Amino acid sequence: MEPIEVADRLGRWSAGRGPLYLLLAGRLRTLIEDGELSPGTDLPPDRALAKALAVGRGTVVAAYDQLSVEGRVVRRQGSGTRVAGTAVTTTPETTHSPAFLQLLEPDADVVALACAAPQRPPPEVVAAYERILPRLAAMDGDIGYHPNGHPILREAIAARYRARGVPTDPAQILVTGGGQQALSFLARGLLRPGDRVLVEAPTYPGALEVFREVDAVVEGRPIGLGPVGSAALAYIVATWQNPTGTVLSTLERRSLAESAAAHGVPLVDDEVLADLGFPGTDPPPPPLAAFGEGVLSVGSLSKILWGGLRVGWVRGPVAVIDRLARLRAVHDLGGNIPAQLAAADLLPDLDLLRERIVRQRKDCHDLLVAELAARVPEWEVAPVHGGQTLWVRLPRGDGASFAQRALRHGTAILPGIGLDARGGSADHVRISFVASEEDLRTAARRLAEAWRAYEPPARRAPAAPPLAV
């Protein structure tokens, strides 16, 4: 690793009391423990790092020697200094998830029901931007870099949690560029290659993508996860589960939070869909964070308002938030301030806006359920009471091959097997109902046509038993 890169990661390492070598060793130790300097990483030579840090070579030598005594680095004459442990070489891969490919490869002739997101911003978003313009014009002495997020938005998010019965300080909030980035930071900040992550099967495919991207080992569990054992992380969508639309009960939430805490497993509660309960349904139980101080809550305005408003967040212990903020500073210094100010303007009245939006979502849900019941009555389509997707069981064939057939008929849906870490759910597909009524009717007609033309792939015949000899 180049000296200037290490110097950048060290940050304000010398802003403390005590000998410089101890301060340097302390900051390097933190970078190693946080995984920012991974096992096997070659550290700069003594003289080169000393020059980059503008300190004497003896300071670097003493810091390296201190970490060597602790077993955190290995020093060999002629071979330099490296972080202790075996280097893990991985090859970054691009996403193969159909949900993301829909975004990367849009097609105007395809009704896109693989990625569930609003198709346009509500007028309130535009009005919020108009209201924050004078505040932007009056800004002075603010360079615009806030790795933790703008203080005004962090307080607004904290206030929303307090209103939901979860005492929260702004220091417990990290603002992110949407819920997906929040999950990405959590994966990069808390997981190492080979770490075990517990997820529901099926679950949100974007979460599976970020966990696998850091080479974690993903283990599928039943909906609700059940008792948590030894693992590096547990991930759940407790409210309007993606893709099934289920809601974890109060008792199940308390049991899960207590189980995770007892085993020291960080528990991530993805609340991106938590505000999407339909009118007339009972409000969901309190967030998982109400049952455990160590719970990490992920939220976003993308699903309730608009995906183009790239504002999400993580709520959690201050130590974890600080670690994630350091990670964000390395990536992009901080988020979009106008978007954050607009989000802070919207949050106090979000519940009033939500009432109108979820009424529209329910109408779309009811329309698609009715259309599918009329056109493909043999499908098992379970209505839901919130969220944004239907989890459909096909009576024959498999979701992967049928999704390909549906795409050729101009409709994009998600095969279930890609959402199931256990390799199950092969006979299911996920269909979003977040679309215009016209698109939903068109999609239902095309799916019915695709089903009539669908021929399941032939099953491979079982291998013949070996001949007796």
pLDDT tens figures, 276-319? 999 999 999 999 999 998 999 999 999 999 888 899 999 999 99
| Residues facing residue 415 across a β-bridge | 429
Question: 65 in helix, strand or coil?
Answer: helix
Q: What separation, in Å, do the N-terminal and C-terminal C-alpha atoms of the chain show?
A: 61
Mean pLDDT confidence for 62-85: 87
Query: Does 328 score more than 70 pLDDT?
Result: yes
Asked if 82 and 73 count as a contact pair (C-beta separation under 8 A), the reply is: yes
The predicted structure's pLDDT at residue 324 = 94
Structure tokens at 411: 């409709």
Neighbouring residues of 278: CB distance < 8 A, sequence distance ≥ 6: 358, 359, 361, 362, 365, 385, 386
Burial group, residue 87, by CB count within 10 angstroms (0-12, 13-18, 19+): exposed
Query: Does 104 score more than 80 pLDDT?
Result: no
Domain locations along the chain: 3-83, 98-116+352-453, 123-348
The predicted structure's pLDDT at residue 108 = 65
- Separation between Cα atoms, residue 42 and residue 38, nearest integer Å: 9
Place 449 in a pLDDT band, splitting at 50, 70 and 90: very high
117 vs 47 pLDDT, higher one: 47
Mean pLDDT confidence for 217-244: 94
Structure tokens at 142: 């603010």
In one-letter notation, the amino acid at residue 440 is L
Domain 98-116+352-453: which topology?
Answer: Aspartate Aminotransferase, domain 1 (3.90.1150)
Class of domain 3-83: mainly alpha
How is residue 421 annotated by DSSP?
A: T
The H-assigned helical ranges of 263-317 are none
**What percentage of the chain exceeds 90 in pLDDT?**
59
Place 321 in a pLDDT band, splitting at 50, 70 and 90: very high
Phi, psi angle pair for 379, to nearest 5°: -70, 150
pLDDT per position as a tens digit, 112-161: 898 877 878 889 999 999 999 998 888 877 888 899 999 999 999 999 99
The predicted structure's pLDDT at residue 89 = 45
Residue for token digits 């056109």? Answer: 375
The dotted CATH code for 123-348 is 3.40.640.10
The predicted structure's pLDDT at residue 105 = 55
